[in-house]
Structure formats: structure tokens, C-alpha cells
Amino acid sequence: MATTNARKPVRWLWILLGILVILALVGLSIFRQVSRIDRPVTYTSDADHFRYGSISSDVNGIPYWIWATMPEVCKGLLPGGYASLGVIQEPGKPTPIGFSMRRVGPLDQVGPNCALCHSTTVRASPEATPAVYLGAPAQQLDLMGYFRFLFNCGRSASFTKEKVIAAIGRHIQLGVKDRLIYGIAVPQVRKALIEGGAQFDSIVVGRPPWGPGRVDTFNPYKVLVFHQDMTQDKTIGTADFMSIWDQKSREGLWLHWDGNNDSLDERNLSASIGAGATPITLSNNVNMAAINRIKAWLMQMPAPRYPFAIDPAKMAAGAPIYKALCASCHEAGQKGFGAVIPTKYLQTDPERQLAFDDSMAAKMNTIGAGKSWAFHRFRPTQGYASHPLDGIWLRAPYLHNGSVPTLSELLSPPGERRAVFYRGYDVYDPLRVGFVSDVPAAHGRQFYRFDTRDRGNSNGGHLYGIDLTPEQKTALIEYLKTL
């Protein structure tokens, strides 16, 4: 009898142990299932997919609520929040245009997409409601400022899990499980931002700031993809964002400012990698389908029409001037259309072209080796490509480095072009055709003082049209508004 009673605790112990094992296995199964979640937010509208759809940079993105509260946690680093960087926030949307979200494991993550650098706003006056133009160069966006804020915040003493979780808790109700998850996520994000900050510093050190509407396109590849030591590399690859509408007319042309590739697919995928995607994430069929959906939409997307009044008589007078002066390089079917014009003829700043040399082209052509989308069309050039001028009114500032604020100044001799102006304002100047660029600040936002005397910022060259009479220049500009 005593033996039977002694066995009861042992039996219950085994039962309890069995229950714990089952619970552990169930928990492990749930953890594995949650960890495998990788689900981008999808959109019915192609335009919304462009605005907010994933190009797979969000696979390795920042958890949404950490990202959303970083301006609060590090408010001294970005007093005006993300809006002060020129992002476009639509009412009722969780992120500005140009940021996608996906559920990765237990959290929603956020990352940039094509629309961040290729959407802008235009206002007829400081009091007007901004009109959003998709596919346009994001001339108002301070992308360098955005990256600098993220990395500096991650390195800040303010970025602790206690302060981040407290900030998130002011916006949403956090349960015990949520606090545990963010308690793990915040140190991981901090570590990634510290490491990313060191890489970012090595890319930008010794080089002028990008300023709004610009990015150093390929030097980041040297560090982030090819792990190159930049201490001996002094090149400056900074250039304006480009328009990306009507891609069908660009098919087969030499793309990027320097004409270093003639494949739309390679251009698109290289842009995705530049935004934070990786060859691994691009191998996912779902991710590739999302990128191809954007491509298909952009193939047919027309350039936006000029929204202000046009003088019909002046426009008609400008048409033959355009045909005689501009069409040979910028009109489809003409000899120079889509060709690379050597810098010795253009006389524009050579730095962007020099930053992409034979060595860089060879490295770019190793990306995706063995995959169906592997790169093989990159090449170095000695100049800049002549592209279509569709929607040219919305592509200010002008030249590849954005060193000339208006079309009227582009038709002036370099000595008459402004040496210093401000970039980032979205109020339009229909008279000179470009954005207002003599205002240092407005609506609580400081604009970037662009100095053309800085290396890589020269406003020289492109001397076409400078000898026209004032009346001819006015007529040509009126015609250019219609393209």
C-alpha cells in the first residue's frame, strides 16, 4: 500500500513533465510558424501599389512602431519629424508615400520603395494645397537627412528599449507579449543602425552633402554590396533623382545619367538593391512579381501635363526653335537620341560619370550570378546620356547634378547662372520654369543651400541655346512646357 502511494507523486510528475513538453513543442511550433511569416501589404490599385507597395527592402526593414516613434525618441535630432525631410504624407495613411509595410514574424516592418525618390509635390503658391505627382523626381526629399537621422538616432543614448517601448505605448496598447517582443527587437535595431551608421559615414565622409532631390547612386554599392574600403576612393557620384514615367519610350536606351546600362530590368533591380533589397530577397517570386507590377505600370504611365497657363502664340513660335536646337538629341528617331554625349563636348560636371569606372561596372555585372535576372549590361562611359524631355517642366533643377534651378537659367551662359540657391521648396515658378529657389525657409522647414562651387556641383556646360535672343528663349521655354 505504501509502495502504491509512493508511486502517485512520481506518476503525476511524469504527467506534468509530459504536459510541459507538449506545451513547449506547441510553443516552438507557433514560434516557427510566426518566424516564417513574410507577408507584404498588397494593394488593388497600381497607383497605390507604386505609392506603398513592397520592392522587398522592407524584408530587412525597421519594425513599424519603432520607426514611427524614432522622431519622438530622438526629437532633438529631427524636431520637425519626418515631414521636415520633405516626405509626402497622405491623410489616413500609416506611412508617407514611398514606404511599404509587410508582416515579418510577429511585427510589421517598414522600408523604402521607388515612390520615395520618384514622387513630388507642386504648389502654385505658399498657401495652395500641394498636388502630388507620381513618377517625378522627388526634388523636395532630403534622403541623406533621412538616413543620417536613422543612424544618429540608433547611436543616440536616447535609443534604449525602455524609452522606445514607452514611446510606442503612448500610441498603442502594449500587452506583456508585445513588450517582450519589442524588448528583443529594439536592441537588434540599435545594433543594425550602429553598424549601418559606420557604413554610411564611410560613404559620405569628405564629400559634399547630397541635398534635397539628390543621391549618390553607386558609391553606396561599393560599401554595402562589395564591402570596399572607401578611404582611397575620393569620387563623388551625387546626381538628381530622375523621372520614371513612360518607361516604354526608354526601352533600349542607355539609362541612368551616364548611360551605363540599357536594360530596364537591370536598372529597376539595381534601384531595388540600392533601396535595401538583397539578391536573396529578390529571388522570392512574390517580391519579383511586385517589382514587375511597378515596371508594367510605369511602362504606360504618361508624363504629367503642365498645370499652368500656356501662351499659344509663344508656344507655336518655340516649336521650330526646339526642332532646330534640341530635337537632334532629345527627340525619338534622331541621331543623338539616347546616345552618350562625351563630357568634353557637354562641358558639364564630370564627377558623376567618373565615379562609375571599369572596375565598378565589372563588379555590378557580378550581382545575381547564376540567377535568371543576373546583371550583365553595366558599362563605364565618358559622358552623359541624352534622354527624352517629356515632363521637363517637372524635372527641375536641371543638369544631371541639379545645379541649375530653372529652364531660363539653363538657356543662359554659365556665368549668368546663380552660383548659390536653395533646394527643397515645392512652390512653382511658372515664369522661369522651375521651383522657387531663393527662399531659405518656409512653413518651419529649412531648405538646402546649394553651392555650385562645391566639388561635383558645377553648373557649367550644356551651352545649347545660350545665344538665342530673349524672345527666342521665351518662345522655346513656352514650347518646352508642353512636352
SS (H, E, C) 35-88: HCCEEECCCCCHHHHHHHCCCCHHHHCEEHHHHHHHHHHCCCCCCCCHHHHCCC
Measured between alpha carbons, how far is residue 54 from residues 50, 174, 284, 287 in Å? Answer: 8, 27, 12, 7
Rounded to 5 degrees, φ, ψ at 467 are -95, 0
Containing domain of residue 173, as a range? 37-480
Give the pLDDT score at 274. 80
Do 26 and 47 belong together in one domain? no
Do 16 and 165 belong together in one domain? no
How distant is the alpha carbon of residue 191 from its chain centre?
Answer: 23
Give the pLDDT score at 33. 46
Taking alpha carbons only, the member of 462, 402, 482 closest to residue 241 is: 402
Do 16 and 132 belong together in one domain? no
CB 85 within 8 A of CB 149: yes
**Rounded-to-integer distance, Cα 323 and Cα 199, Å:** 47
Residue 283, judged by CB atoms within 10 A of its CB (0-12, 13-18, 19+), counts as: middle
Give the pLDDT score at 28. 38
Do 109 and 15 belong together in one domain? no
**Rounded-to-integer distance, Cα 325 and Cα 309, Å:** 24
The counts of H helices and E strands in the chain are: 18, 16
Decide if pLDDT at 66 tops 80: yes
Do 13 and 82 belong together in one domain? no
Do 347 and 458 belong together in one domain? yes
How distant is the alpha carbon of residue 378 from its chain centre?
Answer: 21
Q: Looking at 37-41, 142-146, 226-230, 404-408, which range is the least confident one?
A: 37-41
**Parallel, antiparallel or unpaired: strands 445-446 and 383-385:** unpaired
Do 29 and 104 belong together in one domain? no
Give the pLDDT score at 289. 86
Do 304 and 427 belong together in one domain? yes
Residue-wise pLDDT for 273-332, tens only, equals 887 777 766 767 667 888 899 999 999 999 999 999 999 999 999 999 999 999 999 999
Q: Residue 272's pLDDT band (boundaries 50, 70, 90)?
A: confident
Q: Quote helix, strand, coil % in the chain, to nearest 5.
A: 45, 10, 45
Give the pLDDT score at 16. 61
Do 71 and 113 belong together in one domain? yes
Q: Residue 463's pLDDT band (boundaries 50, 70, 90)?
A: very high
The better pLDDT of the pair 299, 19 is held by: 299
Residue-wise pLDDT for 419-453, tens only, equals 999 999 999 999 999 999 999 999 889 999 999 99
Total structural domains in the chain?
A: 2
**Rounded-to-integer distance, Cα 260 and Cα 273, Å:** 17
**Rounded-to-integer distance, Cα 55 and Cα 116, Å:** 12
Give the pLDDT score at 32. 44
